[in-house]
Chain A
Amino acid sequence: MKYLSLLAFPLMFLFAGCMDDDDSVTGGEVATTVNFRAEYDDADLSIQSIAYDYPTGAKLKTTLFQYYVSDLELLPAAGGAAVRLADIDLIRYQSETDGSVTSRTYNVPVGDYVGLRFGLGVKPDLNAMDPNEFSADFVLNEVQFWNANARYVFAKIEANADLEDDGTFDTGLTYHLGSDAMYTTITFTGDFTISTTANPELNIVADVFKALASDTESFDISNPDQQRIHGMNQAIGQDIWTRLAGQFELQIR
């Protein structure tokens, strides 16, 4: 699990150091935006329109990146109950027109906070519920099901790869991940203040490349057995899941 990015730390402390004492009082709410930013190797993710380099020499074009977020919460500096921003949300990038940032705005109590956390995936109590228990336009009715009777796929990474460097992206990569056992709580620590006068921009960054590869090892997308990870081969998927869960960053600006 990774915490605040190196970039985020000085920005955060600079921001926190400028806070007026009055900003620490609680009372009232401020509309606060959380940006879910998608990247590939530290650059904005583009669906389909960019051929990305992969460490094995292949190139790939991402066609889909999505993940569920459960219990998105802010952690008050004064302790006590976390401030729940969302019970469940689906963050999805599926079209070039989607851009690389999905924004959500929440009414947040003003005050000092020491962190943010969320569950990656669908939390177990919701994962046990049937979609007909929800509104048809609810995020758990986006038909991300394993099959007719099993519930939700927590995250998907899909791409078409050019393995032979011949300019054709003819190898499909589909990584569908998730189970109760995989559900992971991700916590970021760091001080920030929500106030009526200065409202930080909270950016939760997910990097598709870092879910598949690192400086030292890369998921072998040339292996046919590792081009399609669905249901049963979640043992292989666990590797990607662990990377995916571990690479999130919170940037506060």
Chain B
Amino acid sequence: MNIPEPEAFAKIIYPPDNPTTEEGLALGRALFFDPLLSADSTVSCSTCHLPELAFTDRQPISVGINGRLGRRNAPGLTNVGYLHQTLFWDGRADNLETQALHPVADPNEMGGSWQLMISKLRRHPVYWPQFERAFGLKELSELNPDYVGKALAQYQRSLISSDSKYDRVQRGEATFTEEEALGNAIFFDLADEPNAGKYAEIPTGECAHCHIPPHFTNQLFSNNGLDEANSLDDFKDPGRGPISGSKYDNGKFRVPSLRNVALTGPYMHDGRFNSLKEVVDHYDAGGKYAENKDPNIIPLGLSPDQHRALVAFLQTLTDTSFVSQGVRESESQGVR
């Protein structure tokens, strides 16, 4: 199955053992919106990844079954199929196929067990035939968690956004307002350009060292100065460190994509910032001390107008057609 992709993006890397098929995509979509995957059938993937919020949930920390609080903020899924490096805030999953396996068995998310879940799916009158068709399974015993992960990955790779105002400006189909253009200039450090013109004297936002187009992430890990830490053991949430095995990675988190960022608040791994204004306030102040803070995080010296302009630019990354498509898909699954 050939899913159309924007010219501006390097193509999605489809795993050889999990090409997207119509049957697999339909199965993945159905599973994504179905609370069946949770222990008590109350929580689906879409509980924390709501299409109308660019697949986030507006919660600082996501809430799982029985009201249990999760560990971190639900990341958006816009263009997640393009992110071929590690996933989760701490990078503990290597790809979408393995990422999808985590929430089902997490006691604070879907709270189930894979053994019971597979047993349920094998007996299911609708899903088992879908697995048969999608993956050519012949025997019930062949159905294992990997196929659930593959189906969910196929759906997530279909979540492609390329029609934000930012994209349309890049294609010459729209123009930024003066305020958005100023925000664009701050975001991309145009004051550093040899021919900066009217932007020569504005601050550089230093944003695009990490949040670089087209997906507005470098897929790497960074300490962006959220918490002061005189010792690298002081971070309340060590983030990447326990995964990499290095204390020098404590306090680092995966750089999130900013596509649809106006819809994905509250922000940061713990949802501490309620608005984009608060996010810009944080970066404008230069972040808090830790010896592994990213050295690109420095005080910016934004004026109020420049502050507003940066927020206005971030709002141009909203793709309403992408959101609408996701909502329609959820409705087609009977979620609404």
Chain A residues within 8 Å of B, Cβ to Cβ: 47-49, 61, 63, 94-97, 131-138, 141-143, 145, 147-148, 150, 158-160, 168-170, 172-174, 176, 228, 230-233
Contact = CB atoms under 8 A, between A and B. Distances in A.
Given A94-B220, A160-B291, A173-B295, A143 B212 contact: yes
Contacts of A48: 248, 291-292
A51 B10 CA distance: 39
Q: How many interface residues does chain B have, given as a range?
A: 35 or more
B246 A232 contact: no
10 contacts: A48-B248, A131-B10, A136-B12, A145-B208, A145-B213, A148-B212, A172-B297, A173-B295, A228-B298, A232-B194
Interface of B: 7-13, 82, 84, 170, 188-194, 196, 204, 208-209, 212-214, 217-220, 244-246, 248-249, 289, 291-298
B193 A61 contact: no
Candidate in B7, B246, B291 with the most chain A CB atoms within 10 angstroms: B291
A147 B188 CA distance: 6
A132 B9 contact: yes
Nearest to A233: B192
A97 B246 contact: yes
Given A94-B220, A168-B291, A228-B298, 9 more contacts: A48-B292, A63-B294, A95-B246, A136-B12, A148-B208, A148-B213, A172-B298, A174-B209, A232-B194
Taking each of B9, B208, B209, B219, which has the highest tally of chain A beta carbons within 10 Å of its own beta carbon? B209
Contact of B194 (A49, A141, A170, A231): A231
A47 B249 CA distance: 11
B193 A168 contact: no
Nearest to A229: B192
Contacts of A143: 212, 217-219
A49 B249 CA distance: 11
Given A228-B298, A232-B192, A47 B8 contact: no
Contacts of A147: 188-190, 193, 208
A178 B140 CA distance: 57
A49 B294 CA distance: 15
Contacts of A61: 291
B193 A232 contact: yes
A152 to B, nearest CB: 11
Contacts of A233: 192
A143 B245 CA distance: 25
A158 B223 CA distance: 14
Contact of B249 (A95, A141, A170, A230): A95
A132 B291 contact: no
Contacts of A231: 189, 192-194
A230 B293 contact: no
Nearest to A130: B8
B10 A132 contact: yes
A233 B194 CA distance: 8
